[in-house]
A and B are shown apart, each in its own frame.
Chain A
Amino acid sequence: MIEVLIAVLTALLILVGAGFALVAAIGLTRLPDVYTRMHAASKAGTVGSGLMLLAVALHAGDLSTLARALAGFFFFVLTAPISAHLLAMAAHKRGYPLHEKSVRDELNDYRN
């Protein structure tokens, strides 16, 4: 009984995680500029990978795997925003324009 429950939960976590990873990928192609794309990559990507790591931990069913999976998730959460932030900052420093629909750019006002 408990095995079935764990199997179902693992499958669910993998499906939802893969779904978020897919959404992140679609977002990367559909969103109009580098800044909005970073939103999709940093958020949906992190959650997708995190859920799949959790599924691995649950499937393995031992604590040392769980500890490492949690450490992996922790480092995702730690590094994803930093890389998104660095990419956005580098793009802005190079003068990559915001999408034309953008309503304001106070960083540009500050720089000039």
Chain B
Amino acid sequence: MTTYILSLVFAVIWVAVTGSATLHNLIFGFALSTLSLWIVREQMSARGYWRRMGRILSLLVLFFKELALSAWKVAVLVMNPRMDLKPGIFAYPLTVDRDFEITLLANLITLTPGTLSVDVSEDRRTLFVHAIDCSDVEAVKRDIAAGFERKIMEAFR
């Protein structure tokens, strides 16, 4: 994970230093920093960089799909003359345990259809999620576990 943040930081610094804020320049800076980090890979032990890149991209694609779907669902719900709500807060048992992963998962959950993360328990084991439709909590839990959580595990471990 550090490698990506480093690459991105280096790319932004590259853009600032060269003084042209174009997308080309940013991509070039990112490629350049990736290359330089690859040269010092032995020292950084950043193996599996490319394989992970693919998985992070697949997480990103899933995210944008879910975001579009969720905005649409909210629109349909709001415009429906008689709103039929069954809201509630349910506890989601977390499999991921690092702070960074929990934050990412909580953010992704908030931007996906019908769910909003409200709080994390103090022992970092449970995420409390508000859902607009709580009629089938188990299905929602399964969706999160098989979708975002699995992909986060694949991308960052």
Main SS class of interface, A: helix
Residue from the list A30, A101, A104 in contact with B78, Cβ < 8 A: A30
Q: Is B22 a contact of A63 with CB atoms below 8 Å?
A: yes
Q: Is B91 a contact of A106 with CB atoms below 8 Å?
A: yes
Interface residues on B, range: 35 or more
Q: Is B78 a contact of A42 with CB atoms below 8 Å?
A: no
Q: Is B78 a contact of A40 with CB atoms below 8 Å?
A: yes
A11 at the interface (CB under 8 A from B): no
A15 at the interface (CB under 8 A from B): no
Flag the segment in B49-57, B108-116, B144-152 that touches A: B108-116
Q: Is B86 a contact of A101 with CB atoms below 8 Å?
A: yes
Q: Is A82 a contact of B107 with CB atoms below 8 Å?
A: yes
Closest chain-A Cβ to B134's Cβ sits at a distance in Å of: 5
User: Known interface pairs A23-B74, A43-B111. Does A63 touch B89 (Cβ–Cβ under 8 Å)?
Assistant: no
Q: Which residue of B lies closest to A83 (CB)?
A: B110
B70 at the interface (CB under 8 A from A): yes
Residue from the list B23, B89, B114, B117 in contact with A106, Cβ < 8 A: B89
B4 at the interface (CB under 8 A from A): no
Residue from the list A77, A84, A104 in contact with B134, Cβ < 8 A: A104
